[in-house]
Amino acid sequence: MSEADFLVKVRDGATMIADACQERLEKLGPKETRQTVAVKEETFTMLKFENQEGAKIGSYQVAYEKNNIPEKFNTAHNILQQSNATINGRYRGQAYVYSYWLYGQGKIYRQKLKTST
* Cα–Cα–Cα angle for 51, 56, 59, rounded to 5 degrees: 20
Nearest to 96 by CA among 69, 83, 117, 115: 115
* Residue 37, pLDDT above cutoff 60: yes
Q: Using 50, 70 and 90 to split pLDDT, how confident is the model at 35?
A: very low
Cβ atoms of 79 and 39 within 8 Å: the answer is yes
Task: Judge if pTM exceeds 0.75.
Answer: no
Give per-residue pLDDT as tens, 55-73: 999 999 999 999 999 999 9
Which residues make beta-bridge pairs with 51?
61
Tens of pLDDT, residues 97-115? 999 999 999 999 999 998 7
Domain boundaries, the chain: 3-33, 42-112
Backbone angles phi, psi at 99, to 5 degrees: -110, 150
